[in-house]
Amino acid sequence: MAPALARSRFGGWVIRLIVIAGLLLGGFCGSAPAEEAAADSTGGTVSPRGAMLRSMVLPGWGQMYNGRPVKGSLFAAAEIGSVVAFFVRRNQLNKCPATVGQQERNVYLFTSMGIVLVSMADAYVDAHLDSVDWGKVEVGPDEKGKMKVKLSVRF
């Protein structure tokens, strides 16, 4: 098979994978279980557990659920890239009997697992910190007419 033909088939496969992942992210972002939807409409907070489980299923989905689409897209793209690199390297090793590149293939596998774990932790912490009342900032004149800035922070 000619190299140009092999690249075009590989490129088509990668594009299909990216489109499917985008459709999955777009379709899952709006759907929330009934109890979480009720909590969102009344309290305005998201469930940390729900965000973490979403990121476990599909990295980036929990960040999208938390209202962070750019961060979610970056996690999803990193996971897709790592998984694609793993399978490409695996196919290259299957064609070549030498065991020279197996460590590189394993690095891609562990990178994919690490991205999932980091995505889960980030979604959980982000959802948890979203409900924290950090305090308020007051700016205005004091009794003597001087400008003052008052920062109240609560933990």
Q: How confident is the model at residue 71, as a pLDDT?
A: 92
Q: How confident is the model at residue 45, as a pLDDT?
A: 74
The answer, yes or no, to whether residue 81 has pLDDT greater than 70, is yes
Q: State the sign of the Cα–Cα–Cα–Cα dihedral 47, 61, 123, 129.
A: negative
Measured CA angle at 123 (ends 128, 60), to 5 deg = 155
Q: How confident is the model at residue 129, as a pLDDT?
A: 84
Q: Model-level pTM greater than 0.85?
A: no
Tens digit of each residue's pLDDT (9 = 90 or more) over 17-60: 665 665 555 554 444 444 444 344 435 578 899 999 999 999 99
The mean pLDDT of 93-103, rounded to a whole number, is 70
Measured CA angle at 122 (ends 119, 127), to 5 deg = 125
Summary mean pLDDT of the chain = 75
